Amino acid sequence: MEDNMVLDKLNYTGISEFIIAGFLGSKNVQVLYFVAFLFIYLLTLLGNITLLCTLKAESSLHTPMYFFLSNLAVLEIGYTSVTLPKLLAISLTRAKTISLTACLVQTYFFFFLGSTECFLLAVMAYDRYLAICNPLRYSILMCSRVCIFLALGSWITGFLNPWPSIMLFSRLHFCGNIINHFFCDVPPLLSLSCSNTDVLRTTIFISSVLIVLGTVLLTILSYACILATLLRMSSAKGRQKAFSTCSAHLTVVSLYYGTVIFTYVNPAAKLSTEMNKIVSFVYSVVTPMLNPIIYSLRNEDVKKAVKRMMIRKFCPGKYTSKV
């Protein structure tokens, strides 16, 4: 009996790699997955890099709002790159294995960038609150030093947040190595553990509630003040302009937070494995792809700047004649 227990323990701690199942389907379906995932990844890179180049090239966009948007674009490139390259390899070459260390690193960066995004979205909402509700003091309250402090604070806090959970993860014993997901996410990893995961689950839940719901409440409070200010505006044109600068951010916030809260903060949510994959795919892959599109289509300043940059790039004579 004791020999069997020792052997089981050795088997649990001896797992050095996992198998990521990815999305189910035949070989032909996997090829379609690869094409779709590659298209999404390239579109995400192209969209966010174009947005970054536009924000850098246009001096009229060198404002706090677009400084934070630049940070968000950099983050989205990294966020997508954490999961999609491995998913592409799984779909094309069936290279499903990932080492335990690489799995923990992927989990860490996923939550590092996810936490940072929550903070950045809340900071962007606060920036809009100051711009609309305190326009006369905006340049003082949101000076370059404050912008850098808020951006750095978001990145550093996001960087530190996953450490306690990852330390606890590294001490777990695993009795299975097939992750029924498309990346090393927390729920499927916990389901493979033979250890007591109560402390880790509580730590992750508290962290998720504090960060996700905390930043959501700050965002809601900022927009409640913005709405009250807009309703008091006598100029319809002023209301429309103010709303246009907020609508893109509201769309991104709703899409991102809705899926994240549904997955990590709601303990009563019982999702099927495939549904959990789809919900995770939306906030970790689809949202980073849509963000530059949303900001380009729903923000007139960015839309005009992108057009000017495209004209300068591909039709310099036409741009010169217009100027």
Mean pLDDT of 129-135: 89
Q: How far apart are the first and last CA of the chain?
A: 86
| pTM for this prediction | 0.84
Do 106 and 82 meet the contact criterion of CB atoms below 8 Å apart? Answer: yes
Do 48 and 292 meet the contact criterion of CB atoms below 8 Å apart? Answer: yes
Task: Please check whether residue 4 lies inside any domain of the structure.
Answer: no
Task: Please check whether residue 149 lies inside any domain of the structure.
Answer: yes
Mean pLDDT of 105-129: 93
Task: Please check whether residue 96 lies inside any domain of the structure.
Answer: yes
Our count of domains for the chain comes to 1
Task: Please check whether residue 9 lies inside any domain of the structure.
Answer: no
Mean pLDDT for the chain? 82
Task: Provide the CATH number for the domain around residue 72.
Answer: 1.20.1070.10
pLDDT of residue 4: 43
In angstroms, the CA 190 to CA 168 distance is: 11
Task: Please check whether residue 6 lies inside any domain of the structure.
Answer: no
Task: Please check whether residue 3 lies inside any domain of the structure.
Answer: no
Rounded to an integer, what is the distance from CA 141 to the centroid of its chain?
27
Q: Which tens digits make up the pLDDT trace of 27-47?
A: 888 889 899 999 999 999 998
In angstroms, the CA 298 to CA 285 distance is: 20
- pLDDT of 9 strictly over 80: no
- pLDDT of 13 strictly over 50: no
pLDDT of residue 195: 84
Q: Which tens digits make up the pLDDT trace of 75-104?
A: 999 999 999 999 998 888 777 889 989 999
| Residue 15: HSE in the Cβ half-sphere, 13 Å Cα cutoff | 26
For residues 271 and 63, which has the higher predicted lDDT (pLDDT)? 63
Task: Please check whether residue 2 lies inside any domain of the structure.
Answer: no
Question: 106-120, 132-146, 294-308 — which is least confidently predicted?
Answer: 294-308
- pLDDT of 207 strictly over 60: yes
Task: Please check whether residue 299 lies inside any domain of the structure.
Answer: yes
Do 44 and 80 meet the contact criterion of CB atoms below 8 Å apart? Answer: yes
Please give the residue range of the domain that contains residue 169. Answer: 14-322
